[in-house]
Structure 1
Amino acid sequence: MTPTHGSGSRWSDLERPPLNAAALRRGLLVPGGLWTSLDIVTATGSTNSDLAARAGSSPEGAVLVAEEQTAGRGRLDRVWSAPPRSGLFFSVLLKPRVPARRLAWLPLLTGVAAAAGLTRAAGVDMSLKWPNDLLVKVAGEERKAGGILAERAGEEGVVVGVGLNVTLRADELPVPTAGSLALADSVSTDRDPLLRAVLRSLEHWYGKWTAADGDPDASGVREAYEAGCATLGRRVRAELPGDRALVGEAVAVDSGGHLVVAAPDGGREAVGAGDIVHLRPVA
């Protein structure tokens, strides 16, 4: 049987069953836990936009999952799209009571949590590309399988969105540099345990970070991020605002979550915004 997409039936692709909302709620919505609600919609434009719209009336810990996103957004206003039920597309509402200067660590923290949870649940070697890409190896080649986008929502809220390719096949990849858990030989592509693993890991790391008043060192977040970051130690090109580019070695992540790049002339620059390209080593 050839799977079909977009037919309107929730069982249109038998290899991609829908998420089990009742089971996910039983496993994640526990007394005293971070997660307070979990809703799943068949399709929406953007879970980030939807959750941000109701942030003022929702408690911290609301989770919104979409089986399909039609206008998902990544960093730098890039579009994120994939076939229905081929991945995990969700957003969480957080209201961290930490100094504003430390909020930049929230998407990096989410990357640590997602990589840790997926490495355990999917059995894949997952790494991070600064600031918020999730990387897997496909036939020995580094590929982007997911991304994270954090956006302010109201005076005290932050909506953090995660998009992850789970069962995307080679002929469905949006670009040749993309990947998925299936293409990385994941031991499981069952999205229910994968989502539970990511959310439980996020609850763990978010709890450590907020308990330390957002301090990336006291919470262990910076150490964990640097340990899992594939960007560090690499020659990179930072494409910066104003059509400026910086080429050098990524040597550290500073206390503000910026990537520190050492230029060939010996100077160092902390990059807080822009696109990072991993370059091949100089022969």
Structure 2
Amino acid sequence: MRLGAFANAALGLALLWAVQPAFAQQQVTRYVRYAYQGAISYGELEGETIYQLEGDIFSDHRRTGKTVRLSEVRLLAPVEPSKVICVGLNYRSHLGDREPAPYPGLFAKYPTSIIGPEEAIVMPPDASDLHYEGELVVVIGKRAKNVSVEDAPEYIFGVTAGNDVSERVWQRQDLQWLRAKASDTFAPIGPVIARGLNYNDLLVQTRVNGEVRQSERTKDLIFDIPTLVSYISRYVTLLPGDVIFTGTPQTTRAMRPGDVVEVEVEGVGVLRNRVVAAGSEPDARRGDNREPTTEGN
């Protein structure tokens, strides 16, 4: 078995394990974006089979009739956003002694921060205190501007898992959080976009080298997801494929090169990434502008 096939076979087991029986009665569709035989496609994932799609997943799309096994592809970040909006301090368990803010605290990452499952989180050479932040990530499905809280669910396409990688020293020292939050590879997302889940009550869990570091349900968000979408749309026009990191629970700790970080969102699956030192892997990021292969990272 090829290295890439082995890695994705393990990922497939993680995906299946994460889809709990409680969701069996829900009409949940799981979309993936993947590289296979030199091409990048979208598909619908059912069990271990991907059904290739044509068209725009956010509007008119259909199955092509072609299928491929999950173990034969390389999963990519499930969406290519024009904007990556993030919310800070949105769980009481993450506030410490601070009081909740009267409105959501927003910041942004860049599209170049985005990486997918099994891609490497690259620790810059001058970083010294790099932390994980496991989060539920919202994927926008249609153009949203000045939408109400009541109408906000109509603009949400689905959800995925994300890791708001953060350099704490830079957060404290820099004028803004550009380096600390928006450096390349600092926004892993994936492995799928799940459409049809009750995103207001999902378990978000982060593990480092198998040890549980964070675990809390999205029902504990200070500002719930419809509120976030409505609030952000007052100031920023959200487009199909844009993503919103909704906040991280509890406390975080520093990561080191070699650590394996897993963010699991109930009903979505497990997002797995390894931390590497800058320059230690010649193709650590594997951006989508490179020729797709089925080899592992």
TM-score over 0.5 for the pair = no
Which structure features the higher share of strand residues? Answer: 2
* Larger helix fraction of residues: 1
Structure ranking higher on relative contact order (CA contacts 8 Å, 6+ apart):
2
Q: What TM-score do you get using the length of structure 2 for normalisation?
A: 0.29
